[in-house]
Structure 1
Amino acid sequence: MNKIVIHSEYIKLDQFLKLANCVSTGGMAKALLAENMVTVNGEPEDRRGRKLYPGDQVKVTDCGEFVVAQEA
């Protein structure tokens, strides 16, 4: 599982997908979510604005599994 470090209290899912190099644009993130290819903490997620906090786990089909981590 890959660790993605954030520098704030939370990160929105569409921004996270870009940071994790799963997509390069917001439009690509929207399409990915519409195809039910993303789960957050084991539950399917389709909201681009979903707030992710440290400890949340994100799985993206054909991209990988990630955990949100807080900057130390």
Structure 2
Amino acid sequence: MTNPAAVEDVPIGGDDIRLGQFLKFAGLLDSGGNVKEVIADGLVTVNGDVDRRRGRQLQVGDIVGFEGHRVRVSH
């Protein structure tokens, strides 16, 4: 069983990335259509708050949550 409090670091190789890109890059979703839908439906959080902006710029240290997974943007 996965620890719900655990946060997985996902290195992006830069300083920022858009939320939609990050969801695919981190392996949480596999298609742009799915990304658009789950963000619009309010199923994604950034730093604990629902964010419905697919183009939101994430910075290193931001934590994205989706379906019980929490992943942190890292270098």
Question: TM-score, normalised on structure 1?
Answer: 0.89
Distance 2:64 2:33 in 1: 19
Distance 1:54 1:13 in 2: 12
How far has the Cα of 1:22 moved from its partner? Answer: 1.3
How far has the Cα of 1:50 moved from its partner? Answer: 0.5
Q: Which runs of 4+ in 1 moved over 2 A?
A: none
SS in structure 1 at match of 2:11: strand
Equivalent residue number for residue 13 of structure 2: 7
Aligned residues: 69
How far has the Cα of 1:57 moved from its partner? Answer: 0.8
How far has the Cα of 1:8 moved from its partner? Answer: 1.4
Equivalent residue number for residue 35 of structure 2: 29
Question: Identity across aligned pairs (percent)?
Answer: 38
> What amino acid is the match of 1:32?
V
Coordinate RMSD, CA, aligned = 1.0
